[in-house]
Structure 1
Amino acid sequence: MGDSPKASGSRLPSPFSPPSEPRIRKRRGSSKSSGAYGSDESYSSRPKLGRYGGDHVSNWNTSQLESFGIFYDVKATELSELYKSALEKMYSWAVGNTAFLTKLLQIKEVLIESTKKCMHSLDVDEDFEMENLRLPGIIEETKKCMQTMAKIKEEMSLKFGSAASSDNLSRDLYSIWFTGISEYVQYYSDLIKELNSEGRGGVEGQFSQLLTFFSKIFLMNPTRGDASQKVQMTLNGIETTSVPDLRYRMQGDLSVGNIASLVTVSVGEVKTCLPVAYGEKTTTDFNITKWKFRNQSVERLLGQHGGELLVETKKSVIADTNLGIICVKTMIIFTHLDWEKGHLVCLKYGTKVDDKRSNIHYSKPYNFLVRKEREEILDTMFNLGLLCRVRSLLTYQE
């Protein structure tokens, strides 16, 4: 799934074959112990790093981030506005062929409706507590979901299974979507059964994996962060490193050499901490800096994620900005770092940033297990997926 659908011919191999059962992976070592400093050591006690530096953004907090002139908004932004610039970028790539863009948007609408049909049987109540991620009757509910997918698979096979079919774009995107949702349902049901049998809550690595499979439904190909994939940026003469939990990468020829696998659409950070008032309904008046967690500092979470958005900007497909996702168990917050002109130059060379200010915009939280909240983000998720793939999909215009 990491390659362009067209790279191996006009079809994906075995487009409707069932996926193999995914293996539940344990989380890598906690980032709290990474770098040369303990996780609770204050930034001011690191004189060797200077005022603007840090060896790894996992050590950052919001105070550190604000010393760079980067601030989180005081309230959430409407989701339709949050990624508007990213969508404009996607449209600009495809604007040379209006029919092609129209086709992409038509496919997106069909995939949204198909996703709704498949996911209904696995919904949880809006007041569902995520302490242990347990659901009664998960085997029966999974069967219902599989039956719905089987019907959709049959419909797709009848429509696009013919070798003579000329609609390669639709067939290949539906194939990627079908594989993604099948893997997600399998992993989700296996995870709940495992947690039920062991009588414990999930660990961070399992929720990272769950978000990985959920993202693949939307045509994305997320990769897990590790030390071999770290990104560095020089800040005030100090090499600062970022290794987010997930990277969502642009695929296809970007006409800038062979760097497509390094260019990010967004970065994701996953946590298992629970908000103090988990069941409290959130609106666009939601202020992320006021969020209260059990056994977790929101200042550390936001500082780390803001640092990732900053450092990974050098690999962002959108100039002078970066997109992100914060995931707390199964709650997603979309983020968007928006640069003021010249700010990044000041940070790289240690120039004073007193007159420079850039902002991190964000959405309210959405629980992707709850139908109403999940359906509110389907359009955004598919837009991100198309942004990831639009460069590789341009070959279908030829």
Structure 2
Amino acid sequence: MDDSSNSSDSSDSSNSILSPCSSPSSSELTWKRGRSSSSSQTYESDDSCTSLVKCPRFCEDHVSEWDISKLESFGIIYDDKATELADLYESALKDLYLVLGIKHLAELWTKLLKIKEILVESTKKCMQSLDVDEEFSDIDSLSPFAVVKETEKCLQAIAKIKDEMAANGSTSSFDNLSWHLFSFWHTAILEYVEYYSDLIREWSSHGKLGVEGEFCQLLVFFSRLFLLNSMSGDASPEVRMTLDGVDTTSVPDLRYKLQGECTHFKTNPSLMTVTVGEVKKWTLAQDEKTTTGFNIRNMKFTGQSVESLLGRHGGELLLEWKKSALQDTNLGIICVKNMIIFTCLKLDREHLSNLAHGHPMEDEKSIIRYSRPYNILVRKDREEIMDTMFHLGLLCRIKSLHFLQDKAFLHCFL
């Protein structure tokens, strides 16, 4: 993971507001968010607070303590229904494309899109055996023996793909750029399969699903398949923003960062902000499994209230907006065990100024749009999000390949 990023608009956590109930440190928040392997440290009821220390409202200066009513008091609300993923990220991808300056490198981008298609199909072939029941709420439905057989099939498919790539390597159609991205993908899919199989065997031996830290790590390995590198939120200083005169801080669970130096930014910006819920169990009604039938506020959780999760994620999208690689937009993911929901907050600067100075919101609203939930362990859901995630991953990796800084390096791929 890339942990070299250091936010210029963040200050040292020791400068946080001191009060009779001061905000917890980032390390304390990490422990409270369930990254420990002990399930006894997670929440036990839907009535639980979003922090193990209950604070009065006047010291709610960390978004981990927010609920949805706190978020809405700042004029930020969740849409009343889900948006198709392609529509949700369409404008954001166009913005990122322009911000990176790739519009002058049309030939390169055409080549990258061709590589993306190869990687999408390769991933489908390799992972089609890794498919669990659509609900996946009962570990008893999984057989360790079946997992071993599934893993073997997956590894055989990966080896076959590697041989095919090696054969293509002798042709001019498979150049250095293709090999660079394929090598990253090949390592990532092997790591994901290994972690996935070990995790399910461990769950089966204990007779229950794992803690949130394990699902967070599963998402990390899953993201690498799509050329995305994530870093832990507490790997860099807390992000700070003044809201209504209060110094407010945020430490998301994960960030997806652009790689390498970006001339448009003082620091390495974020592409996505990830919030992992401390949820023991979740359920969706049948009509909520489609985009048109899903309202994020109607989710049913055991172990954490929906209001606290949505409030925290919305607060993180708001504060991380300052670090976003996009223009006036911040992308996000809510991870609930093996389910992920893509989110998008578009915020104008006038609204942000009003928030900072405590001006009345009146009718001013910013909407958090979101996708329906996708189960990353279910083939149908997984394959539906592949194209978008590879698109994001390629845009993230443009800088790490130094295409814009080194013309000689660029020409060896064109």
- State if a TM-score over 0.5 links the two structures: yes
Q: State the alpha-carbon separation in 1 of the partners of residues 143 and 113 from structure 2.
A: 35
> What does residue 328 of structure 1 align with?
336
Q: State the alpha-carbon separation in 2 of the partners of residues 279 and 28 from structure 1.
A: 34
1:275 to 278, 282, 285: 282
> What does residue 8 of structure 1 align with?
none
Matched, 1:397 2:388: no
Q: State the alpha-carbon separation in 1 of the partners of residues 373 and 265 from structure 2.
A: 37
> What does residue 157 of structure 2 align with?
148
Matched, 1:196 2:204: yes
> Alpha-carbon deviation of 1:390?
2.4
Contact persistence 2:137–2:281 (CA under 8 A): no
Cα 1:253–1:40, aligned 2, differ >3 Å: closer, same or farther? Answer: closer
Cα 1:236–1:316, aligned 2, differ >3 Å: closer, same or farther? Answer: same
TM-score (norm. length: structure 1): 0.84
Q: State the alpha-carbon separation in 2 of the partners of residues 160 and 258 from structure 1.
A: 39
> Alpha-carbon deviation of 1:229?
3.6
Q: State the alpha-carbon separation in 2 of the partners of residues 67 and 206 from structure 1.
A: 33
2:57 to 46, 56, 60: 46
> Alpha-carbon deviation of 1:312?
0.5
> Alpha-carbon deviation of 1:199?
2.4
- Structure 2 portions without partners, runs of 5+: 4-28, 35-40, 42-48, 404-408
Contact persistence 1:247–1:267 (CA under 8 A): yes
> What does residue 90 of structure 2 align with?
84
1:58 to 55, 61, 64: 64
Counterpart mapping for 1:288-307 below 5 A: 288-307=296-315
TM-score (norm. length: structure 2): 0.81
Q: State the alpha-carbon separation in 1 of the partners of residues 124 and 174 from structure 2.
A: 27
> Alpha-carbon deviation of 1:244?
1.1
**Residue range with higher mean Cα deviation, 101-110 or 334-343:** 334-343
> Alpha-carbon deviation of 1:131?
5.3
Counterpart mapping for 1:50-199 below 5 A: 54-92=60-98, 93-129=101-137, 134-136=142-144, 137-160=146-169, 167-199=175-207
- Describe the SS at the equivalent of 1:122: coil
Q: Structure 1, residues 269-289: CA drift from partner, whole Å, max 9, x if none? A: 122342244766511221001
> Percent identity among equivalent residues?
53
**Residue range with higher mean Cα deviation, 313-322 or 222-231:** 222-231
Q: Structure 1, residues 28-75: CA drift from partner, whole Å, max 9, x if none? A: 411499xxx9738888x423x4xxxx3211100110000000000000
> What does residue 284 of structure 1 align with?
291
Q: State the alpha-carbon separation in 2 of the partners of residues 354 and 60 from structure 1.
A: 21
1:238 to 243, 246, 249: 246
- Describe the SS at the equivalent of 2:255: strand
> Alpha-carbon deviation of 1:127?
3.9
C-alpha root-mean-square deviation of aligned residues, in Å? 2.7
> Alpha-carbon deviation of 1:254?
1.4
> Alpha-carbon deviation of 1:98?
1.5
Contact persistence 1:129–1:279 (CA under 8 A): no
1:30 to 12, 29, 32: 32
- Describe the SS at the equivalent of 2:97: helix
> Alpha-carbon deviation of 1:158?
3.1
- Structure 1 portions without partners, runs of 5+: 4-26
Q: State the alpha-carbon separation in 2 of the partners of residues 227 and 392 from structure 1.
A: 20
- Describe the SS at the equivalent of 2:340: strand
Cα 1:348–1:130, aligned 2, differ >3 Å: closer, same or farther? Answer: farther
Runs of 4+ in 1 over 6 A off after TM superposition: 40-43
Q: State the alpha-carbon separation in 1 of the partners of residues 367 and 173 from structure 2.
A: 48
1:311 to 301, 319, 329: 319
**Residue range with higher mean Cα deviation, 75-84 or 263-272:** 263-272
Matched, 1:266 2:266: no
- Describe the SS at the equivalent of 2:129: helix
Contact persistence 1:177–1:218 (CA under 8 A): yes
Q: Structure 1, residues 280-304: CA drift from partner, whole Å, max 9, x if none? A: 6511221001212123210000000
> Alpha-carbon deviation of 1:388?
1.5
Q: State the alpha-carbon separation in 2 of the partners of residues 327 and 140 from structure 1.
A: 28
Contact persistence 1:72–1:359 (CA under 8 A): yes
Contact persistence 1:251–1:389 (CA under 8 A): yes
Contact persistence 2:62–2:250 (CA under 8 A): yes
Return the letter of the residue paired with 2:147. I
